[in-house]
Amino acid sequence: TCSLLHSPKGFPKLKNDTFLRAARGEETEHTPVWCMRQAGRYLPEFRETRATQDFFATCRSPKVCCELTLQPLRRFPLDAAIIFSDILVVPQALGMEVVMVPGKGPTFTEPLKEVEDLLKLRQKVDVTAELGYVFQAITLTRHSLEGKVPLIGFSGAPWTLMSYMIEGGGSSTMAKAKSWLYRHPEASHRLLRLLADVIIDYLVGQVAAGAQALQLFESHAGHLGPDMFQNFALPYIRDIAQAVKSKLKEEALPLVPMIIFAKDAHYALRDLAHAGYEVVGLDWTIRPQEARAQIGKDVTLQGNLDPCALYAPKEKIGELVKKMLEEFGTQRYIANLGHGLYPDMNPEHVGAFVEAVHAHSRHINKH
């Protein structure tokens, strides 16, 4: 169904809006569920589609992104789709080169080393010119979903992207990137501001293209302590929510729910609850009741089963899901994992997770 590039108008009518209702805090018959990295290497059909192509070439092909986004929905009764892309397309839009190295992951050929390197970045980014391929993928996928479920768009958050741009790839300490925060605070803010401005336009463009919700990934929040987060991450997270909403209004685009997922940022849950997002995503290291106590009743929670729980036998997955639902409550809640699926996971166990969420939440709601 991914053959035509349609326009971002006349989208099919949405048949299952459970995810959007939960995000907005409306009542739902069952708890909606989706998985981070649900379009991924754990699916044999994903590996087959991706086999011949370079990773970022895949990201730049709207047709392939559409196919990969739809694959998990053919298998599982998920309540949302998330567009197949990568957070590092934003540094690419700023002019940095990123390649996917087998066995190592994403690698920047020339990471930022000195403050002067900031001058090499594009200071003004035309997101349609640089990231139009993501918008096309969203529009195509939104049509191809035929209204089955809503489509989520996303971006990395400024600190997470900055840390990749300086480290040049993954890192267990983020020491190079953090040293910038301590040694070059002004330059760090300049870079974070530049990233935030691109992210704002990028997210607004995703909604214009057809995204029905947006998630901001602050995946490296756990490398910062409370003070550094307060200074270098939170202001930009807040600003992105505010600016995206005001631009959506200005451009008469739908005000879609926004999700903030700051991994390992327990210390910031209260702040994140007031950062302007309808949904706060949680990793698996926090107790649902504690998160609810800190975040309050006006924000929807999303999460937070340990991804490794999917290695357990299926019956055990069902028990863990039931416990999770009892702790979160079935309303103002979107079930998910506490991070993404891993490549060696059994698709049947993902199916067991999704079905357990639906079955147990329906049962709890009835009784």
Q: What angle do CA 207, 212, 213 make, to 5 degrees?
A: 95
Q: Is residue 177 part of a domain?
A: yes
Q: Which residues lie below 8 Å from residue 254, measured CB to CB, with a gap of 6+?
A: 207, 212, 248
Q: Are the beta carbons of 83 and 141 closer than 8 angstroms?
A: yes
Question: How far is 314 from 309, CA to CA, in rounded Å?
Answer: 10
Tally of structural domains, the chain = 1
Domain, as residue range, for 208: 41-281
Q: Which residues are catalytic?
A: 37, 41, 50, 86, 164
Q: Which residues lie below 8 Å from residue 315, measured CB to CB, with a gap of 6+?
A: none
Output the average pLDDT for the chain: 97
Q: What is the percent of the chain with per-residue pLDDT over 70, rounded to a whole number?
A: 99
Q: Is residue 343 part of a domain?
A: no
Q: Is residue 60 part of a domain?
A: yes
Q: What is the percent of the chain with per-residue pLDDT over 90, rounded to a whole number?
A: 96
Question: How far is 309 from 207, CA to CA, in rounded Å?
Answer: 33
Q: Is 293 exposed, middle or buried (0-12, 13-18, 19+ CB in 10 A)?
A: exposed
Q: What angle do CA 195, 163, 123 make, to 5 degrees?
A: 25
Tell me, what's the pLDDT at 92? 98
Confidence at 2, pLDDT banded by 50, 70, 90: low
Task: Give the tens place of pLDDT for each residue, 315-339.
Answer: 999 999 999 999 999 999 999 999 9
Q: Is residue 134 part of a domain?
A: yes
Beta strands in the chain (DSSP E): 81-82, 98-101, 105-108, 151-156, 213-218, 258-262, 279-281, 300-305, 333-337
Q: Give me the residues paired with residue 326 across strands.
A: none
Q: Which two tokens stand for residue 289?
A: 């009741």
Task: Give the tens place of pLDDT for each residue, 153-209.
Answer: 999 999 999 999 999 999 999 999 999 999 999 999 999 999 999 999 999 999 999
Question: How far is 315 from 8, CA to CA, in rounded Å?
Answer: 43
Task: Give the tens place of pLDDT for each residue, 346-364.
Answer: 999 999 999 999 999 999 9
Question: How far is 90 from 56, CA to CA, in rounded Å?
Answer: 12
Q: Is residue 46 part of a domain?
A: yes
pTM to 2 decimals?
A: 0.98
Can you state the percent helix, strand and coil of the chain, rounding each to 5?
50, 10, 35
Q: Is residue 272 part of a domain?
A: yes
Question: How far is 352 from 52, CA to CA, in rounded Å?
Answer: 30
Confidence at 1, pLDDT banded by 50, 70, 90: low
Q: What is the mean pLDDT of residues 123-142?
A: 98
Tell me, what's the pLDDT at 7? 82
Q: What is the mean pLDDT of residues 97-106?
A: 93
Q: Is residue 210 part of a domain?
A: yes
Task: Give the tens place of pLDDT for each residue, 20-48.
Answer: 999 999 999 999 999 999 999 999 999 99
Q: What is the mean pLDDT of residues 138-159?
A: 98
Tell me, what's the pLDDT at 9? 82
Tell me, what's the pLDDT at 199? 99
Q: Which residues lie below 8 Å from residue 77, measured CB to CB, with a gap of 6+?
A: 354, 355, 358
Tell me, what's the pLDDT at 102? 87
Q: Is residue 20 part of a domain?
A: no
Q: Is 252 left (phi over 0), alpha (psi -120 to 50) or beta?
A: left
Give me the amino acid identity at 166: I
Tell me, what's the pLDDT at 51? 87
Give the CATH number of the domain where residue 190 resides: 3.20.20.210
Tell me, what's the pLDDT at 3? 52
Q: Is 264 left (phi over 0), alpha (psi -120 to 50) or beta?
A: left
Confidence at 54, pLDDT banded by 50, 70, 90: very high
Q: Which two tokens stand for residue 135?
A: 């918008």
